[in-house]
């Protein structure tokens, strides 16, 4: 059905002066689409086109709603054809351009090229009706530039030739009609061949070419054979004009009357009016001829005035439509602006709320970390200093004269006190942190334990923040203290690397343990969290201890 519609559309829109109507193929009684397609090309009553217009307007809305672009294009083209036939030329132009806009958004293929060609041809017809011949030629030439078949090229060249004929530019008209005739010979379409031959014969008559009458008669013979009633009317009219120009008024009148009978057979008011006008022009009465000439002049002026009025009305309605669309667009933009402003206020309010919420949480986390650290220090003082102090006091009570043992115990207490002080006291990380860190690690070196550092000198410590350096120092201090107390390790390796992040790997070959985050390990984890870093512990009994710090 769609293939039939596409073919039907092109041949309907090409219809102009010489007429190239086709007969629809295989219409079923119950098929409303086929019925209205046929009605567009063959209106039975004055209301036929109006009914078809209403039907296809509904089809456009339905196909657009279903996003069926191909059907939408076809229905819009049919609507444009109906509007043109009803005399709504500017409305027809708007509808055709709307269809063209849909075509432009589709991939290039046979359908889109055929559609564009038909729409350009339709726009040529519209402008020809409005006497805008130059614009009509532009559209016809656009259609011709994408015509691929000889028959379609013949139809378009015929339409171009008719424009030149109206402009009395017979040489150009002859060129187009001759080209149209040659193209028609390449197809099997006798109707188009007869049309091209009749137009060619008529313009060659105007140019006083030989054999012009033979071409007109040959075209008539072909049209009679294929029962092309529209074409027969055109042939009779051209033959009447030919003999009128030759001052053979008897033959001119004979063909004019035959044209009238053909018009009556077609039951077309416009054909009948045209045929009667032609008969009147052959009257010998000078007053009749004067009346005919005056009437034609008035009709022409009236047509031009109507076109101008229609254009003014069309432009006014178009401007009004644009104004309404702009108003709707402004309202939409205003609504969008209010929405985005409200959204901005909401985002800003939410951002402030989240900022203070996270700040409060961070403060709580900091307090918790300080509390955990203080608890750990308190426990360390209790476990390591208070017990040793109590043991020394007990010794003194039992044996007041044992000064040497007492001095040794006090020295041990002093050393532990110094170590705890170092663990929580301030450290100068700004002055040569690399050397400070090295001293920290090497101080744990002994006859039992070998401390090895790797790539410590490769780190650019100037790029590391003070708080992070303090944290690194304290964590390594915790790890080394933990190693000395519990691991029984003989080798410790601390390696450093720096890419997007600073990574410190700690490894020892001690006895390992079942990981339980408490004491020094818990302190280390608390510290690393405070600077948004990570620390991963790994250990198994009798398989050493590992820690990976990432900052």
2-47 tens-digit pLDDT: 444 444 454 444 443 333 333 333 333 346 788 888 777 766 666 7
Long-range contacts from 147-152, C-beta under 8 angstroms, 24+ separation: 147/117, 148/113, 149/187, 150/183, 150/184, 150/186, 150/187, 151/183, 151/184, 151/186, 151/187, 151/189, 151/192, 152/10, 152/117
- Quick check: is 290 in a domain? no
* Interatomic CA distance for residues 307 and 317, integer angstroms: 15
| Chain-centroid distance, C-alpha 285 | 69
Same structural domain, 17 and 138: yes
Same structural domain, 19 and 115: yes
The pLDDT value recorded for residue 228 is 86
Residue that is last in its domain, among 129, 147, 165: 147
- Quick check: is 155 in a domain? no
| Domain containing residue 16 | 1-147
- Quick check: is 103 in a domain? yes
pTM check: above 0.75: no
Q: What is the mean pLDDT of the chain?
A: 80
Residue that is last in its domain, among 111, 127, 147: 147
- Between these two residues, 525 and 496, which has the higher pLDDT value? 496
Same structural domain, 121 and 6: yes
> What integer is the mean pLDDT of 225-254?
91
Same structural domain, 5 and 116: yes
Same structural domain, 366 and 463: no
Same structural domain, 415 and 436: no
Identify whether the C-beta of residue 125 lies closer than 8 Å to the C-beta of residue 93.
no
Same structural domain, 27 and 125: yes
CATH code at 48? Answer: 1.25.40
Confidence of residue 509 (pLDDT cuts 50, 70, 90): very high
Residue that is last in its domain, among 120, 147, 174: 147
Same structural domain, 418 and 435: no
Long-range contacts from 40-46, C-beta under 8 angstroms, 24+ separation: 40/12, 40/78, 40/81, 40/82, 40/85, 41/8, 41/12, 43/85
Same structural domain, 351 and 467: no
> What integer is the mean pLDDT of 90-105?
90
> What integer is the mean pLDDT of 356-367?
66
Cα–Cα distances in angstroms (integers) from residue 369 to residues 357, 525, 532, in the given order: 18, 9, 13
Number of domains in the chain: 3
Least confident of 6-20, 82-96, 146-160, 534-548: 6-20
Instruction: Kindly report the number of other CB atoms within 10 A of residue 272's CB atom.
Output: 16
- Residue 539 has φ and ψ, to the nearest 5°, of -160, 145
- Quick check: is 187 in a domain? no
* Interatomic CA distance for residues 194 and 178, integer angstroms: 12
């Amino acid at each position: 059905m769609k293939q039939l519609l596409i073919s039907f559309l092109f041949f309907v829109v090409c219809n102009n002066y010489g007429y190239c109507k086709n007969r629809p193929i295989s219409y079923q009684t119950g098929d409303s689409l086929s019925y209205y397609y046929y009605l567009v090309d063959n209106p039975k009553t004055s209301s036929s086109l109006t009914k078809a217009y209403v039907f296809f307007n509904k089809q456009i809305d339905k196909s657009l709603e279903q996003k069926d672009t191909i059907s939408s294009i076809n229905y819009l083209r049919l609507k444009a054809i109906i509007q043109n036939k009803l005399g709504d030329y500017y409305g027809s132009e708007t509808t055709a351009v709307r269809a063209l806009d849909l075509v432009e958004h589709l991939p290039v293929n046979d359908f889109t090229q055929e559609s564009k060609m038909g729409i350009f041809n339709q726009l040529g017809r519209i402008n020809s009706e409005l006497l805008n011949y130059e614009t009509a030629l532009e559209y016809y030439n656009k259609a011709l530039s994408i015509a691929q078949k000889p028959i379609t090229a013949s139809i378009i060249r015929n339409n171009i030739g008719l424009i030149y004929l109206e402009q009395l530019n017979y040489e150009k008209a002859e060129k187009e009609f001759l080209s149209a005739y040659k193209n028609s010979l390449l197809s099997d379409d006798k109707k188009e061949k007869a049309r091209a031959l009749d137009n060619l014969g008529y313009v060659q008559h105007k140019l006083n070419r030989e054999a012009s009458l033979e071409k007109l008669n040959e075209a008539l013979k072909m049209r009679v054979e294929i029962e092309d009633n529209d074409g027969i009317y055109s042939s009779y009219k051209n033959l009447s004009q030919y003999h009128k120009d030759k001052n053979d008024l008897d033959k001119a009148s004979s063909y004019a009357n035959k044209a009238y009978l053909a018009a009556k057979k077609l039951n077309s008011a416009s054909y009948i009016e045209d045929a009667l006008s032609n008969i009147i022009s052959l009257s010998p009465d000078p007053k009749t001829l004067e009346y005919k000439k005056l009437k034609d002049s008035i009709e022409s002026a009236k047509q031009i005035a109507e076109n101008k009025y229609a254009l003014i009305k069309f432009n006014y309605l178009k401007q009004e439509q644009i104004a309404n669309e702009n108003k709707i667009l402004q309202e939409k933009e205003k609504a969008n602006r209010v929405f985005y402003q409200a959204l901005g206020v909401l985002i800003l309010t939410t951002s402030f709320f989240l900022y203070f919420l996270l700040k409060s949480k961070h403060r709580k986390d900091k307090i918790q970390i300080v509390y955990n650290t203080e608890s750990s220090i308190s426990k360390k003082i209790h476990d390591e200093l208070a017990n040793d102090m109590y043991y020394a006091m007990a010794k003194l009570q039992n044996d007041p004269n044992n000064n040497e043992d007492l001095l040794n115990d006090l020295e041990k207490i002093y050393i532990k006190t110094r170590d705890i002080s170092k663990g929580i006291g301030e450290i100068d990380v700004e002055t040569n942190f690399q050397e400070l860190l090295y001293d920290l690690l090497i101080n744990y070196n002994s006859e039992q334990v070998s401390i090895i550092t790797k790539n410590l000198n490769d780190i650019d410590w100037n790029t590391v923040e003070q708080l992070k350096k303090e944290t690194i120092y304290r964590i390594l201090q915790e790890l080394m203290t933990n190693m000395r107390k519990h691991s029984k390790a003989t080798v410790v390796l601390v390696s450093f690397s720096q890419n997007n992040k600073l990574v410190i790997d700690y490894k020892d070959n001690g006895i390992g343990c079942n990981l339980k985050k408490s004491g020094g390990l818990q302190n280390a984890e608390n510290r690393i969290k405070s600077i948004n870093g990570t620390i991963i512990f790994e250990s198994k009994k009798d398989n050493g201890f590992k820690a990976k710090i990432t900052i």
